[in-house]
Each structure stands twice: as structure tokens, then as C-alpha cells.
DNA sequence: CTTATATTGTGAAAAATTTCACAATAAAGC
DNA sequence: GCTTTATTGTGAAATTTTTCACAATATAAG
């Protein structure tokens, strides 16, 4: 599909908003509602839907249940997606405890570390030796991993992940990873986000980032 | 300044890359180097610099030390920026332990919670009762806060932050906060980022997000 | 059944962002 | 000090993204 990243992110946001509206008992939703809930224009919502052939009902808006199905299909979330975490520091633990992923059908299957002190085969999410990653990923068909190790160890850990057949990394280390051509990297850089926020606060004025 | 969000984020990335180059002993850097390090084009680097009147040396590239100063000025990081965290769950703890912020001159001064079990006035980063936020923010001139509470509590907590004079919120709750006109919200939504990554992995092909 | 009304769906226009391309020029070499 | 070479700085072009505007049409009302 020829949709850009921002469009995909917006689809996720629409989906989240739609869940909330559904929980409030809504059955239909209009492009205007989704616009209000997510902070974009109504045309943007319709255009985004149009890009993926999502159609509503001229006059009747969009039916929530079928919209959720359709968005789930597009975003690939109609089955549980299994992921691993590499690293088991504070951030990794926080992510393991985080309930938000499950709600989206994302299951963290295991964490991997090099520090034997951290190993715990019997935890709800087991913490395993890093050298077991490849076997584990193969056995469980893992394609996506979260990289939460210190900057200094990040590239090596990423290389091990690629070697284990992982095709997508959510990278929390503040460096640009060198990666094979068929792999996708999503960089999450909290310092940069916060620095960015501070910038906009200092130059004053409302802004949504 | 009429620079957009992406431009500011890129400036932060350039700065990070420049720090690394400096640590390797570099004294000068070319737009081409920064392009390689951050994954953009060299023209983009020059254009971004040009927007902020950052000038180099035709032929000699950019001098690293003055570039760092200038970027620091622009990004407002030549003094320590004090921030607070609202919430003290797993994510908040991970952020409190995180060393990356300090490196950028960002100091987390305190966390706030409503659960008395969490209070700890004597910790390195004290955890204080939520109702002390307003006084604390006023006394310490806090303008930026990190919001890391469950979705259900997020809007109320945000309102308390606005009331305390906070003008910028880094929001980890997966909802769109209603906010006053002079406040900036930076939404960090980890589920959406991960879902997004999964999307791109499933449709195959290299992509940097 | 006809009319009025509300909302979608989308091509076209506008705006924003990125890339191109090249003149300007500083440094190095001769 | 003249020439060559490498790199910046930036207007203009190209591309991408967003918004506009309105025809199409489903529903509701009369």
C-alpha cells in the first residue's frame, strides 16, 4: 500500500478512539467525531479511510464494529502478535509490566539478557540468556523485537536480533542502527521527545506534537 | 521561529550524532557526515541549519564545538531544565532511573502520586502527594511535566498540572488530552509505535520510521 | 413518492516539506 | 597570487501531504 507512516499512525489513533466510543455505547461514528477525538480534520479522516478503501454510509457515517474489523485487518492485529524484548533493565521491566500492549493483541513472549543475575526461566515473561534468542525466535516465529539495552550494546544486540530472523525492531537506544535492507527500525527516543517538548514550551504557544 | 516539528527533532538528532563524533575526536563535521549518521540527505541538514542561521565554512564544513553551542541555544538546553513526573508506576520508575535525560541537561525533580504507599520524601527523586504539585511547581519554577498515569486518571491529572502552571506535558496515556491554548502536549504512545512497526514488518520491506 | 438534509468520497487546489542544482567562496596546492 | 577543488547556502523545482469543495447518495420527513 502506498500509505505513509503518518497515515498508519492516524489509523491506530482512530482505532483507539473508536474503541472508546464503542465502550460508551456508540454504534455509528462520523468522520467529524474521529476528527475531534484525534485532533485532525474530518477530511483527513475520510481521506485516510479512502486510501484503504474503507467506506462508510453517505449520511449514516461509519458502523463501529465493521470499522474496528477493517482497521484491525489493515493494521495486522486480528491475531496476536508475539514479540520479544532484548534487555532487562528498568525500561524493559516497565514494558513487560505494561498492560497497554496486551489490549492491542501484542504479547511479549520473553526477554533476553546477558547478565545471569537477571535470568528467570519461570517468570510470567521469562528472562532468558541472550544466546537463546535465535532458537527461541525460530521456535516461536518471532518477527518483531523491542531493543532496550544501553547505547553501547545496542548495535551488537540488534545484529543478534537480525541474525535471529527478526525483521522489525522498536529501538529505545539513542543511536541509528545499521540494519539489513528487509528490516524496519522504529526509533523511540525519549530524550529527543522531551527536548522537543521543552523547545516548544520555551518558544511559547499551543502546539500538539 | 517558523520551523516545524520534524525540523526540531532532526536538530536533536544532529546534536546527538555530533556528540558522538566529538567523542571520537572529530573537530569538524560536514553536512554529509551528519546525513549519514542520522539517515537524512545532506541538503536537508544544510537546509535545517539554514533555517536557524547556523553557518559553516564553505569548504571547511562545520566546527563541532560551536555547532554544539548553537544547537544547545536553539534547543534551549544550555541550562538545566527541571521537570516533574506525575504518576509513580512502572513506567514512571523506569523514567526516573533513566540516565539519558541527565545527559541532555534534563533533571527530574520529583514525582507525584495519590497513593500514600508510594510516598517517599527522602528518595533521590522524592515521590510526593499529588496535592503538593502546585506548590512544588511554583517554588521550583517547573514548566514541563511527564504524565505517566493510567488512561482513566490522565485527564484529571493533566488538569491538575495545568492548574500548577505547567505548560508542556509529555503524555504517555493513550488519549488526547484537552488542554489550554498556551500549553503544548507531546503524546508518546508506545502501543501505537509498536503496532505501526508490526504493520511495516507485515507489509515487508525496509523502512526507517 | 418526493423533497430536504446530512454526510461520505474524492479529484483538484493549496500548503508544506524535501530535494535539486548551482553560484559563492574558503582552503589547499602549485 | 593564481588555479583547482570541495563544500556551503539557498532560491527554485519537485514531491508529498493536507485541505477544500462539491457531486453523489443514503436516510428521514412529509
The residue with cell 504524565 is B147
* Residues B73-115: tens digit of each pLDDT: 999 877 789 999 999 999 999 999 998 899 889 999 999 999 9
Q: Which chain A residues contact residue B19 at CB under 8 A? A: none
User: Chain A contact for B170, CB < 8 A?
Assistant: yes
pLDDT at A40: 96
Model confidence at B3, in pLDDT bands (50, 70, 90)? low
* Residues B44-82: tens digit of each pLDDT: 999 999 999 999 999 899 999 999 999 999 998 777 899
How far apart CA B61 and CA B64 sit, in angstroms, is 9
pLDDT at A79: 76
How far apart CA B23 and CA B61 sit, in angstroms, is 18
Q: Please tell me whether the overall predicted TM-score, pTM, comes out greater than 0.75 for this model.
A: yes
Residue closest to D27 C1′ by Cα: A59
Between chain A and chain B, the number of residue pairs with CB atoms below 8 A apart is: 211
pLDDT at B205: 60
Q: Which chain A residues contact residue B137 at CB under 8 A? A: none
- Chain D: nucleotides under 7 Å from a protein CB? 5-11, 16-21, 24-27
B208 vs A205 pLDDT, higher one: B208
**Which ranges of A24-168 would DSSP assign to H, the alpha helix?**
31-38, 42-51, 64-75, 90-97, 100-103, 133-140, 151-163
Specify the DSSP element, H or E, that contains B92.
Answer: helix B90-97
pLDDT at A78: 72
Judge whether A145 and A170 are in contact, CB under 8 Å: yes
Q: Given an 8 Å threshold on Cβ–Cβ distance, is B100 in contact with A191?
A: yes
User: With 60 as the cut, is the pLDDT of residue B203 above it?
Assistant: yes
Please name the residue of chain B whose CA is at the shortest distance from the CA of residue A108: B194
How many Å from the CA of B129 to C1' of D19? 46
Spans of chain A, pLDDT less than 50:
1
pLDDT at B145: 98
Residue B4's region, left for phi above 0, alpha for psi from -120 to 50, else beta, is beta
Tell me the three cell numbers of residue B19: 556528540
User: Chain B contact for A200, CB < 8 A?
Assistant: yes
B125-151 burial, b at 16+ Cβ within 10 Å, e below that, comes to bebbebebbeebbeeeebbbbbbbbee
> Residues 97..156 of A with a Cβ closer than 8 Å to B: which?
97-98, 100-101, 103-104, 106, 143-144, 146
Q: How many CB atoms lie within 10 A of CB A35?
A: 18
HSE of B38 in the Cβ direction (CA atoms, 13 Å)?
A: 28
Strand D proximal to B52 Cβ, under 7 A: no
Torsion angles phi and psi, residue A168, rounded to 5:
-145, 130
How far apart CA B146 and CA B83 sit, in angstroms, is 7
User: Chain B contact for A80, CB < 8 A?
Assistant: no
Per-residue DSSP letter, A79: S
How many Å from the CA of B67 to C1' of C17? 24
How far apart CA A173 and CA B106 sit, in angstroms, is 17
pLDDT at B2: 59
- Chain C: nucleotides under 7 Å from a protein CB? 5-11, 16-21, 24-27
How far apart CA A86 and CA B65 sit, in angstroms, is 35
How far apart CA A111 and CA A132 sit, in angstroms, is 10
Q: What is the percentage of chain B residues whose pLDDT exceeds 70? A: 96
How many Å from the CA of B62 to C1' of D8? 9
User: Per-residue DSSP letters for A153-209?
Assistant: HHHHHHHHHHHTT--EEEE-SSSPPP--TT-EEEE--HHHHHHHHHHHHHT-S-EE-
Judge whether B184 and B167 are in contact, CB under 8 Å: yes
Q: Given an 8 Å threshold on Cβ–Cβ distance, is A186 in contact with B168?
A: no
Amino acid at each position: 500500500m502506498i500509505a505513509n507512516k503518518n497515515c498508519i499512525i492516524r489509523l491506530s489513533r482512530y482505532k483507539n478512539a473508536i474503541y472508546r466510543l464503542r465502550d460508551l455505547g456508540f454504534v455509528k461514528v462520523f468522520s467529524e467525531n474521529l476528527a475531534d477525538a484525534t485532533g485532525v480534520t474530518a477530511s483527513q479522516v475520510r481521506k485516510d479511510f479512502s486510501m484503504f478503501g474503507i467506506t462508510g454510509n453517505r449520511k449514516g457515517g461509519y458502523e463501529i464494529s465493521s470499522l474496528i474489523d477493517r482497521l484491525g485487518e489493515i493494521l495486522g492485529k486480528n491475531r496476536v502478535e508475539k514479540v520479544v524484548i532484548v534487555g532487562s533493565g528498568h525500561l524493559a521491566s516497565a514494558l513487560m509490566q505494561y498492560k497497554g500492549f496486551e489490549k492491542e493483541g501484542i504479547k511479549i513472549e520473553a526477554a533476553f539478557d546477558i547478565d545471569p543475575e537477571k535470568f528467570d526461566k519461570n517468570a510470567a515473561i521469562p528472562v532468558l540468556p541472550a544466546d537463546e534468542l535465535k532458537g527461541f525466535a525460530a521456535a516461536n516465529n518471532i518477527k518483531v523485537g523491542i531493543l532496550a539495552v544501553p547505547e553501547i550494546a545496542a548495535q551488537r544486540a540488534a545484529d543478534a536480533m537480525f541474525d535471529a530472523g527478526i525483521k522489525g525492531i522498536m529501538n529505545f537506544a539513542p543511536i541509528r542502527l545499521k540494519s539489513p535492507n528487509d528490516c524496519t527500525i522504529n526509533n523511540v527516543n525519549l530524550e529527543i521527545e522531551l527536548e522537543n517538548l521543552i523547545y516548544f514550551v520555551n518558544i511559547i504557544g499551543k502546539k500538539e506534537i
